[in-house]
Amino acid sequence: FGFDLSKSHSLFGFNFPSVYNYYYLFVLCSLFVIFVCVRLQHSRIGRAWAAIREDEIAAKAMGINTRNVKLLAFAMGASFGGLSGAMFGTFQGFVSPESFTFWESIVVLACVVLGGMGHIPGVILGAVLLAVFPEFLRSTMGPLQNFIFGHQIVDTEVIRQLLYGLAMVLIMLYRSEGLWPSPKHEDKIAKIAKRAGKKPVRA
């Protein structure tokens, strides 16, 4: 709309550099994507996606067009990926295959699994933890190794990869739903019944 994000702008006496402009744009786009995902999750399409995830044959038996619903899921994912890719390319000024390595896919998968699959706040929690975790390792593991051994034995990047793998294994073994899983249908019914002052009936 004629607004150049690559230049500094002044608003109400405050100067916003180019990096700040892109940062606020990224935050707004992230909030927009979260809003759309939450609305989709609680819509008829979202319930159809959940039914297909649980049992595709049962979902098809209930009259859900599984092919079209799965194609819609792929299209929504591709649209969000296209939005983020356009923003990334604009911010970086170039797009290179070296920017999208296999390790980046591992980090994204770890965010989803660690936070909680199918739960948007859980995924955000996982992303925040895995964004803070490398900085914590970088600031502590190097000086700690120098203090104990006099020099750095294992590179911080290798330690991070080992701990990522260990965290994934522990999550799969002891908390497969993630740190903040989505509430189950039975829990929602029990909560509603508790608010109404009734004892939930279990089959």
Could you say which of 68, 94, 120 is where a domain stops?
94
Would you state the pLDDT for residue 82?
92
Q: What are phi and psi of 181, to 5 degrees?
A: -75, 165
Identify any residues that bridge with 16 across adjacent strands, giving them in sequence order: 9
Nearest to 140 by CA among 130, 131, 128, 152: 152
Nearest to 70 by CA among 54, 48, 92, 102: 48
Same domain assignment for residues 87 and 105: no
Same domain assignment for residues 69 and 110: no
Measured between alpha carbons, how far is residue 170 from residues 109, 175, 178 in Å? 15, 7, 10
The tally of CA atoms less than 13 A away on the side-chain side of residue 99 is 9
What is the rounded distance in angstroms from the CA atom of residue 50 to the CA atom of residue 63?
14
Would you state the pLDDT for residue 32?
93
Domain residues for the domain of 192 are 101-203
- The percent of residues above 70 in pLDDT, for the chain, comes to 88
Amino acid at 72: L
What does pLDDT average to over the chain? Answer: 82
What is the rounded distance in angstroms from the CA atom of residue 49 to the CA atom of residue 45?
6
Predicted TM-score (pTM) above 0.95: no
Average pLDDT over residues 176-199: 68
Number of separate domains in the chain = 2
Same domain assignment for residues 112 and 194: yes
Same domain assignment for residues 196 and 117: yes
Same domain assignment for residues 144 and 192: yes
Residue 65 DSSP one-character state: -
Would you state the pLDDT for residue 198?
58
Question: Does 46 have pLDDT greater than 70?
Answer: yes
